[in-house]
Structure 1
Amino acid sequence: MNVSLLATKFFIPTPRARAMARSELCGRLTEGLLSGDGFSRKLTLVSAPAGFGKTSLVSQWLAELPVGKAWLSLDEKDNDPARFLACFASALQTGEPGLGAWVLEALQVPQPPSFDTLLTRLVNDLAASATKLILVLDDYHAIDSPAVDEMLGFLIDNFPVWVHLVIITREDPGLPLARYRARGQMRELRAKDLRFSVVEVGEFFRKVMEIALPEPDIAALEARTEGWAAGLQFAALALQGNKDKEAQATFIASFSGSHRFVLDYLVEEVLLHCTEAVQIFLLATSCLGRFCGE
């Protein structure tokens, strides 16, 4: 197998200078995680639809931690088990140089070892490293391969205590999450956790976007967007440069999913990534004001 990987797949996103600080959520991710020479949990799951600020939150959180860090941004090509394993090992090397470097060589021989052999040796390498390391898998919703899920499940089950995995995804992965949850091995954040509160909405407009809005308008925006980070960003972009209070209030009262900024985002980030069957269904039902579940 000839593996050629983009170096940018392994870049940790840099938190924006004027990004909204999510201190409370970062604290929840850190709470009870560090334990002696390792981590008290195997997995952190950040699962929510597009535009909730998942990647921004995790990159902001990582910047605060005094441990080794590695990042892997996944895409549809990584559904191939061999390619996924190559990416996984390459990501590990960014956190600890040399760790799992043999994996790429092993995958390129005419008759590579079995995946079981490769995974076992990789776990043994991690156990021998004794270095605290957090590995982030971003966009895991791009993975639709039971074989890759099985490989990752094996790795999670056998990670040494000094390795912690973070999965960022728009939908839950095909992993035994109920088991991890029952054993206290996982911390998870969902859309309800990532939504901006009224206080955070006010802080976002005042400190990040430098837009002064009265309390009623802040509350209205929080209600209309339900704290959706992308929606708030689009509203702020539309409001920038408009100092007329009455015009601002009128815009906020009418702001909805039909605004062109929101529509463009949903088409690019959601609709175009759906299967053809789902796209046809959504387009066919989009004209209906109401329909039953049958």
Structure 2
Amino acid sequence: MSQTLLYTKLHIPPPRPKLVLRTSLIEKLNGGLHRKLTLLSASAGFGKTQLVSQWLTTCKRPVAWVSIDEGDNDSSRFLSYLAAALQSIGANMEEGLFRALQSPHPPPAASVLILLINEVSSMPHPFVLVLDDYHLIDADPVHDALIFLIEHLPPQMHLVITTREDPPLPLARLRARGQLTELRAADLRFTLSEAAAFLNQTMGLNLSPDNIALLESRTEGWITGLQLAAISMEGLHDATSFIKSFTGSHRFVLDYLVEEVLHKQSERVQTFLLHTSILDRFCAPLCDAVMRLAPSSSSEETLKQLELANLFLVPLSPSLC
């Protein structure tokens, strides 16, 4: 394997200690192993990576893992890590392949993928390939390579993708063919019982059922929101007052959202979010008025993009605007 690859990108993140066991979601992940693809798509802080890591401790299949970063938008680099991950579970990847991928004139992606697919097709046991944080990919050649892989996926391979927004893959076709398992924010939110286990057992807060229900309602089961609230309550004597006042403007929550969500958006999207943040509910015409946009620069398309990007928007009936 090439020495220029960062091997820790191929390591499965260990589950956190005292993690809440998400039995129903693990059953759903196991139930999707016969399909081509499992997609976990939700905003930051919904526990996608930790859920997959927890699941894999019980999954009896070998696992090839790639933690995606911005540098993987280079298709040759992406394919190098893909080959290295497959090599880590026994696939026979020639050293010459890695040298070719890192040469000034790498081979076409389709040629490399054919080699990888043919090699995987000869492997004796089924396995799981995980691409974590795929939302960091915005290069069409990489998307095209992944589409090629999915369309020719060997029966031994089950692909898992975690992402903050839906990738430009043929999801509708996979869904229609029964080849896709999906876990989204609605699935990943903590239930009331999971929130109780997290707050009282994992975080050791000893909250009352009423306080747990109130905090679960205020965070809408958002895992990171519950965690940030729990950290803020450590050592407090009046948890009830804190929970009643806990909102998205709490400094820990605000810091997280600014760092993990707002700063990762384009300048155009940041401007739109900051200007429309004064609105509790909104629609495209109202956003147009706030932004003072001309008809040719309608907010409708921006709102559609934000919804697809899982940016904490909850669609409502147009009549509620």
TM-score, length-normalised on structure 2?
0.84
Residues 22-56 of structure 1 deviation map (CA, whole Å, 9 limit, x = unaligned): 111111110262xxxxxx21110000000000000
Query: Equivalent residue for 2:175?
Result: 181
* Residue 161 in structure 1 maps to residue 155 in structure 2: yes
Query: Which amino acid counterpart does residue 278 of structure 1 have in structure 2?
Result: V
Equivalent-residue separation in structure 2 for 1:7 and 1:216 (angstroms) = 47
- Cα distance 1:110–1:293, how it changes in 2: closer, same or farther (>3 A)? closer
| 1:107-118 superposed matches below 5 A | 107-109=101-103, 111-118=105-112
Structure-2 residue corresponding to 1:212: 206
Q: CA RMSD in A?
A: 1.8
- Comparing 88-97 and 47-56, the one that deviates more: 88-97
Q: Per-residue CA shift, 1:227-286, capped at 9, x if unaligned?
A: 0000000111111122x2xx2111001101000110110011111110111112222333
**2:239 maps to 1:257:** no
Report what 1:69 is aligned to: 63
Distance 1:288 1:14, change over 3 A: same
Q: How does 1:1-294 map to 2 (within 5 A)?
A: 4-31=4-31, 33=33, 40-96=34-90, 98-99=92-93, 101-109=95-103, 111-242=105-236, 244=237, 247-288=238-279, 291-294=282-285
Query: 2:11 touches 2:66 (CA, 8 Å); kept in 1?
Result: yes
Q: Unaligned regions of 5+ residues in structure 1, if any?
A: 34-39
Return the letter of the residue paired with 1:264: D
**How much has 1:5 moved relative to structure 2?**
2.5
How much does 1:102 deviate?
Answer: 4.2
Asked if the contact 1:69–1:133 (Cα under 8 Å) also holds between the matched residues in 2, the reply is: yes
Label 1:162 to 1:100 Cα distance change in 2 as closer, same or farther (>3 A).
farther
- Residue 84 of structure 1 deviates from its aligned partner by 1.1
Q: Which runs of 5+ in 2 are unaligned?
A: 286-321
State the distance in 1 between where 2:94 and 2:49 align.
25
Percent identical: 52
Q: 1:205 to 1:100 in 2, by over 3 A?
A: farther
* Equivalent-residue separation in structure 2 for 1:288 and 1:32 (angstroms): 40
**Preserved contact between residue 90 and residue 100 of structure 1 (Cα < 8 Å):** no
Deviations 1:92-146 (A, max 9, x none): 1222264465431221345433222111111111111233221110110011122
Deviates more, 1:166-175 or 1:156-165: 156-165
Distance 2:201 2:96 in 1: 48
Structure 1 runs (4+) deviating above 6 angstroms are none
Change (3 A) 1:231 1:111: closer
Structure 2 counterpart SS, 1:129: coil
Offset of 1:289 from its aligned partner?
A: 5.2
Q: How many residues align?
A: 284
1:129-187 deviation digits (Å, cap 9, x = unpaired): 23322111011001112221111011111121111110000000110001111111111
1:63-110 C-alpha deviation (Å, 9 max, x unpaired): 111111111111121111111111111121222264465431221345
Alpha-carbon separation, structure 2, partners of 1:27 and 1:289:
37
